Amino acid sequence: MSKDIIIKYGLNEREQLSQEEYLKILEIAALSLSYYLLSKKDYCEKDLREKLYNKYLNKIVVSRVLGILREKGYLDDLEYAKSYINTHNYSKAKLKYMLKQKGISDEVIEELLENQKEKELENLKREYKKVKGRDKDKQIASLMRKGFCYGDIKKIIEENQED
């Protein structure tokens, strides 16, 4: 707990806090932790909510803090999803699944992933280069685990065998 909070609420001289004061101190602490976490990496709202709730065990405080972060623009699921799509070389199906796990709405996912076929093929080619020296079955299995469809994988493998 910061010295500022201890001084402001006179915690050294008091034995008890009112419920209101306790919730305000929790909110300050949760907001401080949120800033720290968001300075290290991007979070979707669902992940940050879980992290804060596991630490502070108070849904009201966590909801208030998430509201503050949303208002200030520090927490935006749309921007998080865009960033996630740009930094991961998965297929459209796997990206959709992973974003769904992160609590991103179906509308946002569909909006961002429409017209992704070209990027998906680029990602498949990039991932194929990583597994190119392996056995053909292992190549296919590895690429399918990343969510690429079998037909596209076969087409890329055949194109590269001709070269």
The answer to whether 44 and 103 have CB atoms below 8 angstroms apart is: yes
- The whole-angstrom separation of Cα 129 and Cα 12 is 63
* pLDDT at residue 1 in the model: 57
Task: Pick the closest to residue 76 from 54, 46, 98 (CA basis).
Answer: 46
The answer to whether 27 and 64 have CB atoms below 8 angstroms apart is: yes
Top pLDDT among 163 and 101 is at 101
Instruction: Give per-residue pLDDT as tens, 14-53.
Output: 778 889 989 999 999 999 999 999 999 999 999 999 999 9
pTM of the model: 0.82
Out of 5-9, 66-70, 112-116, pick the least confident: 5-9
Given the structure tokens 């493998």, which residue do they identify?
A: 157
Task: Pick the closest to residue 88 from 146, 134, 43 (CA basis).
Answer: 146
Given the structure tokens 């991103």, which residue do they identify?
A: 104
Q: State both tokens at 43.
A: 């979070």
pLDDT at position 102 over 80: yes
Count CB atoms within 10 A of the CB of residue 160.
Answer: 13
